[in-house]
Amino acid sequence: MTEWHRNGYTISTDRAELDVPLIHDFLSNSTYWATGRKIEVVQRSLDNSLCFGLFKIDDGNKQQVGFARVVTDYATFGWVADVFILPSERGQGLGKWLTDVIISHPDLQGFRRWVLATKDAHELYRRVGFRELHRPERWMERPDPKMQESPDYWNKKE
């Protein structure tokens, strides 16, 4: 477990501190990418990722206000996923700080490639070195035809 502190906030990789109901509720009900995600799926994703909880410390109370996870082999590849900051805490640079902490984590160094998907935070991620796919024609994806989630990118627009 590792912790970082800044201006009344803490980022921790201790999974025991994560507020799983809050993470599930936010992902399933307030994001465009995980709409309808079941709590069992959220829990399995937490169990198999390096998780970063962002907490506000107020009068000794620790309340989760953000989250991100990295899916990785710890050698060559990292996928940043499920990043969010609660609306009440946005506008304070917490997303940038969380992203900086993730890409500087000592166990996540020397990767050949980091990836992520975003609809609306390109500028945030560009500030920490992300860019559009270098060779998008080499990437493929396989959606599950039985997927129960309703992310907006699988809507039939094409």
pLDDT at 39 over 70: yes
Percentage of the chain surpassing pLDDT 70? Answer: 92
Q: Which residue has the tokens 């560009």?
A: 126
What is the distance between the alpha carbons of residues 98 and 77, in angstroms, rounded to a whole number? 19
Indicate the pLDDT class of residue 141, thresholds 50, 70 and 90.
confident
Q: Domain spans of the chain?
A: 3-141
What CATH number matches the domain at 3-141, 3.30.420.40, 2.40.30.10, 3.65.10.10, 3.40.630.30? 3.40.630.30
Indicate the pTM of the whole model. 0.90
User: pLDDT tens-digit profile of 48-82?
Assistant: 999 999 999 998 899 999 999 999 999 999 999 99
